[in-house]
Amino acid sequence: MFTGIIEKLGIVTAIEKEHSNYHFFIQSPLSHELKIDQSVAHNGVCLTVVEVKNNVHKVTAIDETLQKTNLGNWKIGDLLNIERCLPANGRFDGHIVQGHVDQTAICKKIENQNGSWKYYFEYDSSSGNLTVKKGSICINGVSLTVVDSENNGFSVAIIPYTYEHTNFKTFEIGTVVNLEFDILGKYIQKLMLQRL
């Protein structure tokens, strides 16, 4: 389990395709501490470390992961938000994040608010995913609070610390991001649908 509190930024140094799988090589300040078989969130996607060499680690994405996330868009030089699993005695500073991305969204608008930033995202709501005002949302692995909520979109406010220490600073209009909706909201929604 993760909390959506990003530890470090990593950079994609190489990409290898093998059949329908993609192998990503990531350089980060945490790479040398990682172990093979360890689960690590990369832009909110839980991936298993399969190789560690010096300050670079390797993860593999299968077709299912590529279809539901933005991993297929990754390029050499891209910055990734990195978070290791929450230790049993760790602080729970964000919200419950599983590292299981529900779908992607597109950045539609960015407002510089003189000391903070407001980002607007649009997603396909046909799968039933939803946000609520002041609820939790995970964007590229970052635990955030929803500001405005609509049927197929929402906004979040970003403070300077988050802007500097995550890949939000690289976002542009049209950037595709990973979304993980609040797990509690998903359970409640499923229970309500079953009662109809």
Domain spanning 8-84 has what CATH number? 2.40.30.20
Task: Read off the pLDDT of each residue in 93-122 and give the average, rounded to a whole number.
Answer: 95
Sign of the dihedral through C-alpha 77, 82, 124, 72: positive
53-102 per-position pLDDT tens digit: 989 999 999 999 999 999 999 999 999 999 999 887 788 788 889 999 99
**8-84 with 103-195: one CATH topology?**
yes
Asked whether the beta carbons of 44 and 105 are under 8 A apart, the reply is no
- CA pair distance 40, 88, nearest whole angstrom: 15
Q: What CATH number does domain 103-195 carry, 3.40.50.150, 2.40.30.20, 3.40.50.720, 3.30.565.10?
A: 2.40.30.20
Which residue ranges make up each domain of the chain?
8-84, 103-195
Give the CA radius of gyration of the chain.
17
Give the E-state strand segments of the chain in sequence order: 8-18, 21-27, 39-42, 45-53, 56-61, 79-84, 103-112, 117-122, 136-139, 142-149, 153-158, 176-181
Q: What is the pTM of this model?
A: 0.93
